[in-house]
Amino acid sequence: MGRTWRLPGGSRTGLRSLRTTFAVSFAAVTAAVTILVGILSYGSAARLVRVDQQSVFTQVVRDVQAEVRQHPMTPDDFSSARPGHDVVRPARTDVQVLGPGGGIVDHGSPGLPVTARDREMAGSRSAGRLAEHKDVRVGEDLFRVATVSLGGARGAVQVAQEFSDTEDLLRTLQQRTLILMAAVVVGAGLFGWWLARRITRRLVLLTSAAEDVARTRRLGIQVPVTGPDEVGRLGRAFDRMLGRLAQSEEDQRRLVQDAGHELRTPLTSLRTNISLLRRIDELPPETREDLVADLTLEARELTDLVNELVDLAAGQSDSEPPQRVDLADVAEDVVGLAGRRTGRRIVLAVSGDTYAQGRPGLLQRALSNLVENAAKFDREGTEPIEVRVAGAAAGTVRVEVLDRGPGIAEGDLLRIFDRFYRAADARSRPGSGLGLSIVREIAMSHGGAPFAYRREGGGAVIGFTVGGGVVPPEL
C-alpha cells in the first residue's frame, strides 16, 4: 500500500494514483493510436489486395477476348491436353471450355457451373462477347467467373478466379492485426506503469521529505531528489528553500539568544539602581546625581539596543520596492543629518557613476550606521570624518567612511560585522554591537559585501559595496 497525503480541504489522494493515471493515460493514447493505425493499415492492405486480384482477373479476361477476336479459335485450342494451353491459364486462374451447344468439353478444376447465359455465349456468332458472374459458389469456395464467346457458335471459354482464399488470408491478417494491437496496448500499459513509477519515484521521495518536515519540524534534512528535469529542479528548489528556512530559523534563534544576553546587563544595572531609589533620601546629593545620570545613560543604551534590534528585524523584512538610487544623494542626506546630530565636520567625496539598483531607506540606514560609528569612536577627533562614494567596474558602487579614531585590531577585522560583537577596547563605550551587523545584512541583500581595514596614519576605513546591476530580492 502506498502512502497517502492530505490536500488542503481534507481530500486524500493516493501517491500511486498518479502512477495509475499516467499508466492508464499512456495505454489509452497508445491504444487509440494503435487501433487507428491498425484499422487504416488493414483497410489499405485489404483494398490493395482486392484491387490487385480484380486487376489480374480483368487482364486475363481481356487477353482471352483479344485472342479470340484476332484469331478464329475452337474449343480444342483451349483444351488442357493441347501443348501451350497454359498461355491463357495464369496461376490461381481456372479455365473450363464449353462446346457449341454449351456442353462442357474440358472440365475446369474444380468444375464450374454453366448457366443459360453461359450457353448463350457458347452459341454466339460474335467472338469476344462476355458474360460475368460474381460470387459463384463452388463447393465451399467462391469464384468470379467470366464466359467469353469464341464466335461462330463454336463454343465459349469460362475463366474463373477464386477469391475466397483471399478473404481467408485477409481474415487471418485481421486476426493477427487484432492480436498485435492487443499486445501493443498491454505492452504500452506495462511500459506506462514502469515509466510512471520511474518518474513519480522521485516525487514520492520529495513528498516523503515534505511530510517528514511537517511531522518533525526539522528543516535541516537532505532532499534526495536529483536530475536535470523539472522534478530535479523542484527537488533542488525545495532543498534550497529548506536551507534558507533553516538558516532563517537559526538566525532568529541566535538573534533571540544574543539579544537576551545583551539585554541582561542594562536590565540588571537598571534593577540595581532602581532598588537604590528606595533609599534616595538617605543618599548624599552627589550620589543622587550620579544615580540619576546612570539611570539616564542605561535607559538610553537600552533604548538604542531595542531600536537597533527593531532596525535589524526590519532590515530582514523590509518591503520597500527596489529602484534606481543615486548613492551620492543618499550620502549627502546622511552627511547633513549626521553633521547636525554629532556636531562633527563630515566631508563627502563623489566620483564616477554612483547609481545602483536598491532600496533607498535601507541604504541610508547602512550609511548612517557607518557615520555614527565613526563619530562614536572618534569623539575627540579634530580631523573631519570622510565619506567617499565611488562608481566601480561593472556597475558596482563603493561606499566607505574614514575616521581617525583608535582603529581596529587585526584580530577584530573579520568579526566586527558579527551581531553583538564588540572589540575589547570598545566595550567601555556605549553601543550594542548591532550597527555594523545591520550594515552587513543590507550590503549582502543588495548583492554587495561589507569591508573594513586599518587606515594608514591611524583610524579605520569601514564600508560596503552595492552589486553591479543586482536587484535586491524581496527580503
User: pLDDT tens across 39-91, in order?
Assistant: 887 778 777 777 777 787 888 888 888 888 888 888 887 777 665 555 445 55
CATH of 323-467, one of 3.10.580.10, 3.40.50.300, 3.30.565.10, 3.30.413.10: 3.30.565.10
pTM exceeds 0.75: no
User: pLDDT tens across 138-159, in order?
Assistant: 777 778 888 988 888 888 888 8
CA distance 410 to 251: 26
Amino acid at 142: L
CATH 3.30.450 intervals, the chain:
21-169
Does the pLDDT of residue 187 top 60, yes or no? yes
Does the pLDDT of residue 229 top 80, yes or no? no
By the 8 A CB rule, do 205 and 225 touch? yes
> What are 173-177's contacts with CB under 8 Å, separation 24+?
173/42, 173/45, 173/46, 174/42, 177/38, 177/41, 177/42
The strand order across the sheet containing 156-162 reads 104-106, 93-98, 156-162, 141-149, 130-138
CA distance 319 to 327: 19
Q: Which three cell numbers stand for residue 40?
A: 487504416
- Count of Cβ atoms closer than 10 Å to residue 457 Cβ: 8
- Just give the CATH number of 219-316: 1.10.287.130
User: pLDDT tens across 300-314, in order?
Assistant: 767 766 776 666 565
Q: What is the pLDDT of residue 397?
A: 92
Q: What is the pLDDT of residue 262?
A: 60
Q: What is the pLDDT of residue 464?
A: 92
19 vs 422, higher pLDDT:
19
CATH 3.30.565.10 intervals, the chain:
323-467
| Residue 347, beta-bridge partner list | 386
Q: Which three cell numbers stand for residue 125?
A: 456468332
Q: Percent of the chain at pLDDT above 70?
A: 77
What mean pLDDT is predicted for residues 4-24? Answer: 53
By the 8 A CB rule, do 236 and 224 touch? no
Protein fold of 21-169: Beta-Lactamase (3.30.450)
> What are 17-24's contacts with CB under 8 Å, separation 24+?
18/196, 18/200, 18/203, 19/193, 19/196, 19/197, 19/200, 20/193, 20/196, 21/196, 22/192, 22/195, 22/196, 22/199, 22/200, 23/189, 23/192, 23/193, 23/195, 23/196, 24/189, 24/192
